[in-house]
Chain A
């Protein structure tokens, strides 16, 4: 009952046979195991922290507190993006200590870490911790946290505001609203949720005293981001950290930087000279992985009498959680403003957002990180305005689409959108969803006692330009005839190896199954961005394409020799070298080389890609049983402009996954925090 086959992705064979290598699979001899003691209170002062019994428990090697880690030079969790406020004022920052010093500000905040010879032993010991709290009033509602009645979380942040940001020019927007024939306003909640990659967050650190380098196995989205943010948190130099992950079990934005456990394990590994492991339980990860979304978007739209959009403005509330960690500022400012006009030609745009603190888990990037949220809010606002003022929602959209001949299009608050074919995408979505037949289907549902609804949304997102100014890729042949390609962007299920190999096969004429992609080989010291913001394929992929073009130049003299033709007459087309009616493949040329000639073939490619603007139109049709409230998603139609398609099957998989996480957000995933006993 068994079969031989060729896997459809390079990544598949180990993963379907149990030979994958995820972080928790590392099991070094003599490895210590860590357990985190966390806060069970949303806001409390630690009045006593007695860990003597924990330290005395058999098998315990170390109990780390804030004092210990600070003595070892620890920093804080990174807050890489800060912005100026609307009056030009500096942003107030509340940086998260690795372990709480005297106050805890969210349930799940790390207080101490136990290091023992077994994972269960560390957990057993942790139960002996004697911690006394003075419980403080907690502020958990982002709407109310700025009121004078709310408790202040940080001494340097009055009204619990980190920054009051603005984008665009308020004056023309106000003028447009003053003369508008119709206006509508809508509050859209993009609720706090959990990203939940299937592989729980985990870290295994091992220190090499001879080289002074600590290797850190951990799920990540790109080595440079993780390494630099881990350096900030641990106090170690970036050069002394090597980030490694063979397989990453999903990321969704959460794996971009270091958490407490990463930094504490680096410090522990250096102190003890042995491997140290921490593998999060799902329960504690719910509490301590950065949460996503947590945005309140108050939109207003001004229309002329014919339905032309005159202006859009937003006043947003951005819940950063208890501290500024990682990307919350970026989400709440840049990402909410950059595409705030959506797919529409809007003459005047203005937004303000307040980034605020609450006694909740810090928020960072999750799938789109503010961009899907604002896209959703715009569409809800346009739809709402259409219904409020008697316009057909499809016609209103179509009337206001940015015209196809207007690209590149500069928005009123400064974004330059490369392309967006909204009309065509809408037409296709209407056709695929049989939008015209909806009323007939609704009548059928009604006859069966059900409600039926159809929802349509266009969207426009800015993909991640990335922090690094360019992406680099290094390619080199080994003596066994494999082309090894190194880059920064780390895969977590997207199929980077397969897609990059596909680019190489086409550009270089070298078979995809003889390409190996590796993220994070430190010896090449490459620049580049991590996986995030839908950028890897065009960003790192462009660098790989550039690498191929350079590699062709290195191969050309050999091809000339193989064919026995003058190099000037030789050219490369459709994957083969041709001259004077003769042709030879790159594979034949390279395979015939001596080992030292093969290994001398290498090339560095680089590309500066900036942001692109993925867009599309999705239509969902649901039926609701009014007696039970059960909602069936009957049909979902996704029309996306993906740009250049490299791997159609992988693209379908990515869209399916994205759509179902969208469903998850609507129907399943909501993190609810309340100071009352019910929610």
Chain B
């Protein structure tokens, strides 16, 4: 077991992990942050996407020990109290979710995309979310959600 330190959603945590433990499992099992979902074992579905030091990464493809010292944002940390993030608002308003299992990963991938590309084209949205799968929506409302979120984030004061 190896002790690691993580800053998760603004809170410092120290956890003992197996060397083989995946960050996704540590977030879910050790820290009870079950909003990060696991939908595959091949790094294809994107349900486990989080922000690690500001970048969107698939937490099932990161060993927990690799994240030692990292700043992590999970879906639980995106909203500030009762105020939801514009991406969360947009996904609901545009009906960008149905069963909701892929949604945390979609939202976090969108957060990563929009931090690097605040006004994405359709092609950039498709590329930015190409690592996230959804079986319910057909993606049309998801793309609309991303566009609305980008617009809302532009209009809000920084």
B-contacting residues of A (Cβ < 8 Å)? 1-5, 7-9, 11-22, 24-25, 27, 120, 196-200, 247-250, 252, 279, 281-283, 492-495, 649-650, 652-654, 656-661
In the docked arrangement, what's the CA distance between A4 and B92, Å? 12
B99 touches A199 (CB 8 A): yes
- Separation of A199 and B105 alpha carbons in the complex (Å): 13
B152 neighbours in A (Cβ, 8 Å): 3
B61 within 8 A of A: no
In the bound complex, residues from chain B placing their C-beta under 8 Å from that of A27 are 29, 32, 34
Given A2-B84, A9-B92, 13 more pairs with CB closer than 8 A: A2-B79, A2-B80, A3-B89, A5-B89, A12-B100, A15-B103, A16-B75, A16-B91, A17-B88, A197-B101, A250-B98, A282-B39, A493-B97
Give the CA-CA distance A2 to B141 in the complex, in Å: 21
Cα distance A393–B98 when bound, in Å?
Answer: 37
Inter-chain contact B97/A18, CB cutoff 8 Å: no
Chain B neighbourhood of A16, CB < 8 A: 75, 84, 88, 91-92, 97, 100, 103, 107
User: B51-59, B62-70, B119-127, B129-137: which lies at the A interface?
Assistant: B129-137
Task: For B158, give the chain A residue with the smallest CB separation.
Answer: A1
Whether B16 is near chain A, meaning CB under 8 Å from some CB there, is: no
Given A16-B107, A281-B41, A657-B137, answer yes or no on A649-B100 (Cβ-Cβ < 8 Å). Answer: no
Q: Mark B69-107, 1 if CB is under 8 A from A, else 0.
A: 000001110111011111011011101011111111001
Tell me whether A250 and B32 are in contact (CB under 8 A): no
Q: Which residues on the A side are within 8 Å of B29 (C-beta)?
A: 27
A9-B85 contact in complex given A18-B34, A659-B138, C-beta closer than 8 Å: no
Which 7 A-B residue pairings sit nearest by Cβ, starting from the closest? A18-B35, A493-B99, A249-B101, A15-B100, A656-B138, A2-B83, A493-B98
Cβ–Cβ < 8 Å partners of B45 in chain A: 198, 282
Tell me the chain B residues, 113-157 only, with Cβ under 8 Å from chain A: 133-141, 152-153, 156
Are A17 and B79 neighbours in the complex by a CB distance under 8 Å? yes
Q: Give complex CA distance A658, B140 in Å.
A: 12
Bound CA–CA A247/B82 (angstroms): 22
Do B99 and A492 have beta carbons less than 8 Å apart?
yes
The answer to whether residues A22 and B37 also contact, given A493-B100, A656-B141, A657-B137 and a CB cut-off of 8 A, is yes
Closest to A247 in B: B100
Which residues from B are CB-within-8-Å of A283? Answer: 41-42
- Whether A18 touches B84, Cβ cut-off 8 Å, given contacts A650-B95, A660-B138, is no
Q: How distant is the Cα of A120 from the Cα of B22 in the complex, in angstroms?
A: 11
State whether B86 touches A8 (Cβ < 8 A): no
Chain A residues with CB below 8 A from B85, complex form: 1-3
Q: Contact between B93 and A8 (Cβ–Cβ < 8 Å)?
A: yes
Most buried by A among B29, B40, B80, B100: B100
Give the complex CA separation of A72 and B80 in angstroms: 51
Residue of B nearest to A660 (CB): B138
Given the complex, which residues of B lie within 8 Å of A21, measured CB to CB? 34
Residues on the B chain within 8 Å of A659, using CB:
138
Tell me the nearest residue of chain A to B36, going by C-beta.
Answer: A18
A368 CB to nearest chain B CB (Å): 15
Complex-state Cα separation, A22 to B78, whole angstroms? 20
Majority DSSP secondary structure for residues of A touching B:
loop
Closest to B87 in A: A16
**In the complex, are the beta carbons of A4 and B35 less than 8 A apart?**
no
Asked if A657 and B138 make an inter-chain contact with CB atoms under 8 angstroms apart, the answer reads: yes
With a CB–CB cut-off of 8 A, which chain A residues contact B104? 18
By a CB distance below 8 angstroms, the chain A residues around B38 are: 24, 200, 279
Least CB distance, A122 to chain B, in whole angstroms: 14
Bound complex: CA A24 to CA B47 (Å): 13
> Would you call B93 and A198 a contact (CB within 8 A)?
no
How far does the Cβ of B137 sit from chain A's closest Cβ, in whole Å? 6
Q: Could you tell me the distance between the alpha carbons of A282 and B43 in the complex, rounded to whole angstroms?
A: 10
Report whether B76 and A196 are in contact in the complex, using a CB–CB cutoff of 8 Å: no
B33 in the interface (beta carbon within 8 A)? yes
Q: List 17 A-B contacts (CB under 8 A).
A: A1-B86, A4-B84, A11-B100, A16-B91, A16-B103, A17-B88, A18-B74, A20-B100, A22-B101, A198-B101, A198-B135, A249-B37, A249-B39, A650-B95, A656-B140, A661-B135, A661-B138
Residues of chain A with a CB closer than 8 A to B103's CB:
15-16
In the bound complex, what is the Cα–Cα distance between A458 and B75 (angstroms)?
A: 42
Contacts of A661 in B (CB 8 A): 135, 138
Residues of chain B lying within 8 A (CB to CB) of residue A281: 41
Q: Which residues of A sit under 8 angstroms from B107, Cβ to Cβ?
A: 16
Q: What residues of chain A lie closer than 8 Å to B101, measured between beta carbons?
A: 20, 22, 197-199, 247, 249-250
Chain A nearest Cβ from B22, distance in angstroms: 10
Q: Complex Cα distance A652/B92, Å?
A: 14
CB distance from B96 to the nearest CB of A (A): 9
Cα distance A87–B153 when bound, in Å? 68
Residue of B nearest to A15 (CB): B100
Q: Is the CB of A17 within 8 A of B35?
A: yes
Which residue of the partner chain A has the closest CB to B97?
A15
Query: A16–B108 Cα gap in the complex (Å)?
Result: 10
Query: Within the complex, which residue of A4, A7, A657 is in contact with B83, where a contact is CB–CB below 8 Å?
Result: A4
Q: Which residues of B contact A660 (CB under 8 A)?
A: 137-139
The complex places the Cα of A261 from the Cα of B82 at a distance, in Å, of: 39
Residue pair B153, A1 in contact (C-beta under 8 Å) = yes
Taking a contact as CB atoms under 8 Å apart, the answer to whether B36 and A3 are in contact is no
Question: Looking across the interface, which residue of chain B has its beta carbon closest to that of A14?
Answer: B100
B137 close to A653 (CB less than 8 A): yes
Q: How far is the CB of A195 from chain B (nearest CB, A)?
A: 8
A649: chain B residues within 8 A (beta carbon): 95
Let me know if A1 and B156 touch, CB within 8 A: yes
Select from chain B the residue with minimum beta-carbon distance to A284.
B41
A663's nearest neighbour on chain B, judged by CB, is: B138
A657 touches B84 (CB 8 A): no
Provide the bound-state CA to CA distance between A282 and B113, in Å.
26
CB-defined contacts of B88 to chain A, threshold 8 Å: 16-17
Residue of A nearest to B108 (CB): A18
CB contacts (< 8 Å) of A658 on chain B: these are: 138
Whether B133 lies near A2 (C-beta < 8 A) is no
Q: Which B residues are CB-close (under 8 A) to A252?
A: 135
Say whether A249 contacts B99, CB under 8 Å: yes
Q: Nearest A residue to B35 by beta-carbon distance? A: A18
Among B20, B32, B92, B156, residue most surrounded by chain A Cβ atoms (within 10 Å): B92
Asked if A2 and B86 sit within 8 Å, CB to CB, the answer is yes
Q: Which residues of B contact A199 (CB under 8 A)?
A: 37, 39, 99, 101
Across-interface contacts of A9 in B (CB, < 8 A): 92, 95
Contacts A3-B152, A4-B84, A656-B141; A200 near B97 (Cβ below 8 A): no
